[in-house]
Amino acid sequence: MFEEYTDQQIMEDIRSGGRAREDIWRHITKNWGGYCCGTAIRRAGCEEYEAREAFSIACISVDKRIQTTAGYDFLATASLKTYLTSATIRAAWHVLHQRKKKDSGDEEIRLRSGGEEEALSNWFRQNDCRELLEKALAGIGERCKKILLLFEDKHSMKEITKEMGFKNESVAKTEKWQCQVKFKEYLIANTHIRKYLEDNNCYG
């Protein structure tokens, strides 16, 4: 059964390409798609069809991330399912933003054109702050890095408590606050990192 797959095995199948890659993405869509889309609907306030579109965008982004040499690194901060869910939420916000711009006549977005994959890839390179934040947060330790990335991805205190194994939500809030203070102090001491994040609209 799919539940018996570890994140490592799933990623190895994706990296292997061919039939194995196609099969594992089919299983991911079947077993995680509903959860990812449902969470995006609740968090981003999008419609079901927009959530499905966002899930497709997220899958493309995650697939590309896994294919890179550093593709396993993000498992230190979140499970693959959690990462894909967060990517779906971010993509849903983007879909909503672009749809509003289209409706107001500011810009027409053609996601279903022949250059869909290239356009989506370009968007994630420009706007997905996750990788930039991961690199910056590495300076304050893995524990705080994981807590703040979960918070950045709009996970509730209840979800963070469960993911991190804290006793209760009060402990989670205290830990999150302490990590935020630690990160601010780190950025004060490393102004070049803060400037890099601000220049990419990922902090401030």
Sign of CA dihedral 145, 151, 155, 160: positive
Best-predicted range by mean pLDDT (68-77, 107-116, 170-179, 188-197): 170-179
Which residue did the predictor score with more confidence, 76 or 53? 53
Structural domain ending residue among the three candidates 127, 157, 188: 127
Among the residue ranges 12-26, 38-52, 117-131, the one predicted with the least confidence is 117-131
Same domain membership, residue 140 and residue 105: no
Same domain membership, residue 133 and residue 112: no
Residue type, 82: T
Same domain membership, residue 184 and residue 137: yes
**Mean pLDDT for the chain?**
78
180-195 as b/e, with b when 16 or more CB fall inside 10 Å? Answer: eebbeebbeeeeebbe
Do residues 94 and 123 lie in contact, with contact meaning Cβ atoms separated by under 8 Å? yes
Angle, helices 18-44 vs 7-16, to 10°: value is 120
**CA proximity to 77, closest of 179, 163, 171:** 163
- Measured CA to CA, the distance from residue 56 to residue 54 in angstroms comes to 5
Which residue did the predictor score with more confidence, 192 or 25? 25
Q: Looking at the 3D structure of the chain, how many domains does it have?
A: 2
Structural domain ending residue among the three candidates 94, 111, 127: 127
Same domain membership, residue 77 and residue 37: yes
Same domain membership, residue 198 and residue 141: yes
Mean pLDDT for the stretch of residues 44-66: 88
Same domain membership, residue 204 and residue 142: yes
Residue 101, Cα to own-chain centre: how many angstroms?
Answer: 23
Same domain membership, residue 69 and residue 156: no
pLDDT band of 35, cuts 50, 70, 90: very high
The 8-class DSSP code of residue 2 comes to: G
Same domain membership, residue 50 and residue 11: yes
- Amino acid 31: pLDDT: 92
**In which domain, by residue range, is 138 found?**
129-204
Structural domain ending residue among the three candidates 94, 127, 160: 127
Mean pLDDT for the stretch of residues 131-146: 82
pLDDT for 57 beyond 50: yes
